[in-house]
Amino acid sequence: MSRTVGQTRADVEEASRWLAGRVVRTPVLRSPVIDELAGARVLLKAENLQHGGSYKMRGALRAVGRLAAAGHTGVIAQSTGNHAVAVALAARQHGLAATVVLPVDAAPTKVERARAAGARVVFAGTAVEERVAVANGLSDDSGHPVVDAYDHPDVIAGQGTASLELIEDAERAGTPLDALVVPVGGGGGVAGGCLAAAGTGIEVYGVEPVGCDSLARSLAAGVRVPVAPAPTIADGLRPSCVGELPFAIVRDRLRGVVRVDDDEIAAAFRLILTELKVVAEPSGAAALAGALRLAPAKDRQRTVGVVLTGGNVEAALVARLMAPRSADLTREGAAA
């Protein structure tokens, strides 16, 4: 990538102004039970209620909108699902053709959402490298640009508007954030969160599934470190390596990364459904699982913001996750 890191909070603010009226300003939810478990005030940004079912709509719409204004007639995207759905929806809004590249094991709900939005769906293996290669080949053949899921400045700025809204709403409510927690796949969302929180004193944390911890390993090494993603119910958090641009943004701004396992993610999923009465996909629930591990010492004056990034989840998985289990949430551990 030839881009340099020059993004600031102003880019997120500009994206927020542009997106006003184009995306849902999703509500901030709160539960006394979750506050009690966390030992802190927890504010949850319900991006599962966003157009397309995830906050990916923000970055996709911002990026595709600018490409449409520049005269492009089509776009290409690759992802495990939510970004592809968002790009397809954004392309339809702007009258552009869309081709999305998904893994062969993509969630059927996300495949159907992309098709319903008018996108041509192409399947390519299970690894991100396979999807990237196919997407780049399609771009070479068609001349249509690739809208990367996280390694793209407009996508990062757009994703960051969810965190910006959460920060603003918390301030208006008289409960300004002390910490912001965002799940990490390729890093676009947490990079946008870091930009949104710049200059505020808010500590920003990323959350990764155990075994899918490229960002945590990269921060420890000082360079990007790829991983062979382990199996996880959080299918949206399985890129093999954190993005180049996101890593450059977060490496000196992120307070830490919390690793969570599938039992913790599943418990957070159940908590969100039973206490908030909304459905968040496991990738979004991972953020709450991470937040619950951040406060081993109770500080009820502390306010923690959590971005529930999406809600596109298979009905069968919901049923499986809601089945009785003996595993309980653990709040032990610290940010890596």
Res 239: pLDDT? 85
C-alpha 263/C-alpha 313 separation (Å) is 17
Given the DSSP bridges, would you call strands 203-209 and 179-183 parallel, antiparallel or unpaired? parallel
pLDDT at 325: 58
pLDDT mean across residues, the chain: 92
Distance CA 127, CA 303 (A): 37
Q: What's the DSSP call for residue 54?
A: B
Q: What number is the average pLDDT over the span 245-260?
A: 97
Given a cut of 60, whether residue 331 has pLDDT beyond it is no
* pLDDT at residue 2, as a whole number: 36
Query: Which pLDDT does position 1 carry in this prediction?
Result: 37
pLDDT digits (tens, 9 = 90+) for 184-237: 999 999 999 999 999 999 999 999 999 999 999 999 999 999 999 999 999 889
Q: What Cα–Cα distance (Å) separates residue 323 from each residue in 24, 318, 326?
A: 32, 9, 10
Q: CA-to-CA distance for 139 and 79, rounded, in angstroms? A: 15
pLDDT tens string 31-81: 999 999 999 999 999 999 999 999 999 999 999 999 999 999 999 999 988
pLDDT in the model for residue 298? 62
Half-sphere exposure of 41 (CA within 13 A, CB side): 12
In 146-188, at which residue ranges do the beta strands (DSSP E only) sit?
179-183
- Whole-prediction pTM value? 0.91
Return the pLDDT at 6.
84
DSSP lists the bridge partners of residue 23 as 20
Give the Cα separation of 40 and 212 in Å (integer): 27
Radius of gyration of the chain (CA): 18
Side-chain-side CA neighbours of 27 within 13 Å: the count stands at 5
On whether the CB atoms of residues 242 and 206 are closer than 8 A, the answer is no
pLDDT band at 296 (very low <50, low <70, confident <90, very high): low
* Cα–Cα dist 100/102, whole Å: 6
Stretch 237-255: mean pLDDT, rounded? 95
